[in-house]
A and B are shown apart, each in its own frame.
Chain A
Amino acid sequence: MVERMLEKWSSSVNVVTLGATKSEGGTRSKSVKVGGESTLPFLLEEGGMPCKPVVAMEVQDLPSDNFNDVYRKALGSVMNDPAAWAQKCEKEWGAEVILLRLTSAHPDTKNAPVDKVLKTIESVRKATGLPLIIAGCGNAEKDNVMLPECTEALKKERATFASATQENYKRLAAACIAGGHNIISESPLDINICKQVNVLLGEIDMPSDRIIIYSTNGALGYGFEYAYSIIERTRIAALGGDKTMSMPVIVYVGTECIRAKEAKAPEAEFPAWGADFERAVAWEVTTAVGYLNAGADICVMFHPEAVRVVKSYVDRMMVK
């Protein structure tokens, strides 16, 4: 009989709670806990995964040009109405969390004013009872003005805000601390900067159980292995007791996959690549499943069919 070598770790990942229910002062119909692992992904004999990884569905207030016909058909008319989109994600497509990306606010798109953005947030808040993640437009100057106001608008909802970066974290972090929200700590595919941002957030007293790591990721075929190795190394550091790396990890699967050429190119142009629909869904599923096995706690996705498959995958992997 060969002895089974099981790895035992000394520490675990922080548990972060997304969303606040009525009893906690918010209006979410439920809150969602992520993190808490004391093992590498799905090795349930070695340690625990008290909170299963979750799928967040992304809603954009100005849909990206990268959506091809497969997505436009799957998502349908709600693409032009963030509140309806969010509601459908919850009611029909099985989303566990909603990520609202404020794409319309970017100076290169519509440069939507803050009050308009706040109205969108309010309509989404009312349309869904799921915990909310609010992602800025990606323009630091605009986000610095806009996101702190968004934290005010979602007071007591324990929302999650993206992102704090090494050069730009103080304003958003201060607003999240004051508003009782979570924050996403972002770094550009660099584990040393990932750690540094977490240390900086700690220095200004952002509680570590309200931080989620986004260490940047690509889709399958676009630096996937490198992003995977960073997430994996982050997780190993957490399990080994590094408190500055012990946060749950979020990956943006959808936004990366819809711009991957192999996922979005029409079948008519590349007949050898196979059917559009299967290809698009498979790209999101494969990317998500890969990152789940690196240690991702939240996969942010678009396609309802891909969401269904990934949720079912997680359920099957969580059986001990």
Chain B
Amino acid sequence: MLIIGERLNGMFKRVKSAIEQKNKKEIQAVAEEEIKAGAGMIDINVGTAAADQEGTMKWLVETVQEKFPKIPLAIDSSKPEVVLAGLKVCRNPVLINSTTAEDAKLEKLLGFAVEYKADILGLTLDENGIPSQKDERVALAAKILMTAMEMGLSPSQVYIDPVVLPVKFGQDQCLTMISAIRDIKTALNDPPPKTAIGLSNISNGAPKEMRPLINRTYLVMCLAAGLDGAIVDPYDTDLVDAMITSELLLNKQIYSDSFLKAYRTSH
């Protein structure tokens, strides 16, 4: 599974103060820690750390790729102009995080993806919000995928995020989302698009000490349904261990007695 590291986000104090002080080393240290912990892609989100979102995104992208010229980056913003600022300077493999299925936004961001040879992550929501029914989410996934393919992207460049909602506020939605992943992987297209989720939202609002348990349990369930990637906290070793073990049980990795070490050697 592709681990997209979520720690380079302006909402974290460490990152916020590094942004304020233009401390490149600290930003690069966060990226390095994430990579060491297993991240195959670094998500970059300015958050609320700076008023100049575009300038800060540009600086963060440049800072990370200066030290790590190969690691794929996810440019994370709901604002197209901030995404564009990141894309313009990004030389590493890049993922646009994210578009929605709203017509105007979808076309604009898919246009960026074509122009900058980027992968793109599409959330299954539109003007009407997040559908509560599985079939409606899958329909939005189909819309995103088909539009992307019409514009010349290959299915392997498209990640669909069927949107994780907190278990505390909608228990029925947990299974709906998993069913959506399964349908997206099996019924949309051959080859299918990829799927990725923002995992931590599942435990939003739950007691802090219970969140890691909820996160990793849900991740394992999603992996069994065919999930390809997730934006997670790679510092959570138990979570990464659960992910590695899932891949083993899903026959995606060859077993060895030292399977955790074997996986970490390879990634």
Contact = CB atoms under 8 A, between A and B. Distances in A.
A73 to B, nearest CB: 44
Given A233-B254, A244-B256, A245-B254, A195 B262 contact: yes
Nearest to B255: A192
Interface string A170-211: 000000000000000000000111011001101100000000
Interface stretch (A132-140, A152-160, A235-243, A309-317): A235-243
| Interface size grouping (class) on chain B | 10 to 19
B23 interface: no
A203 B262 CA distance: 10
A199 B254 contact: no
A202 B266 contact: no
A195 B254 contact: yes
B172 interface: no
A191 B254 contact: yes
B128 interface: no
B189 interface: no
The main secondary structure of chain B at its interface with chain A is loop
B21 interface: no
B106 to A, nearest CB: 28
B256 A196 contact: yes
A203 B266 CA distance: 13
B254 A243 contact: no
Contacts of B261: 199, 203
Interface in A205-254: 233, 237, 241-245
A192 B254 contact: yes
Contacts of A243: 265-266
A192 B256 contact: yes
A8 to B, nearest CB: 10
A233 B253 CA distance: 11
B256 to A, nearest CB: 4
B257 interface: yes
B253 A196 contact: no
Interface in B223-267: 253-258, 261-262, 265-267
A242 B248 CA distance: 13
B258 A242 contact: no
B229 to A, nearest CB: 15
A24 B258 CA distance: 36
A202 B258 CA distance: 11
Contacts of B256: 192-193, 195-196, 199, 244
A191 B256 CA distance: 8
A199 B262 contact: yes
Nearest to A166: B257
Contacts of B262: 195-196, 199, 242, 244
Contacts of A244: 256, 262, 265-266
A289 B261 CA distance: 35
B265 A202 contact: yes
A241 B255 CA distance: 15
A191 B254 CA distance: 8
A199 B253 contact: no
A203 B261 CA distance: 9
Contacts of A192: 254-257
Contact of B257 (A196, A237, A242, A245): A196
A242 B255 contact: no
Contacts of A233: 254
Contacts of B257: 192, 196
Of A192, A193, A237, A244, most buried by chain B (CB within 10 Å of CB) is A244
A195 B266 contact: no
Contact of B255 (A195, A200, A202, A203): A195
B255 A199 contact: no
A241 B256 CA distance: 16
Nearest to B261: A199
Contacts of A196: 256-258, 262
Contacts of B267: 241
Contacts of B253: 242
A192 B255 CA distance: 5
A242 B256 CA distance: 12
Contacts of A195: 254-256, 262
A241 B263 CA distance: 10
Nearest to A208: B265
A202 B256 CA distance: 13
Contacts of A202: 265
Interface in B109-166: none
A295 B252 CA distance: 20
Contacts of A242: 253-254, 262, 266
A200 B254 contact: no
Contacts of B254: 191-192, 195, 233, 237, 242, 245
A234 to B, nearest CB: 8
A200 to B, nearest CB: 7
Of B256, B257, B262, most buried by chain A (CB within 10 Å of CB) is B256
A25 B261 CA distance: 35
Contacts of A203: 258, 261
9 contacts: A195-B255, A196-B257, A199-B261, A202-B265, A242-B253, A242-B266, A243-B266, A244-B265, A244-B266
Given A243-B265, A243-B266, 6 more contacts: A193-B256, A196-B256, A233-B254, A244-B256, A244-B266, A245-B254
Interface of B: 253-258, 261-262, 265-267
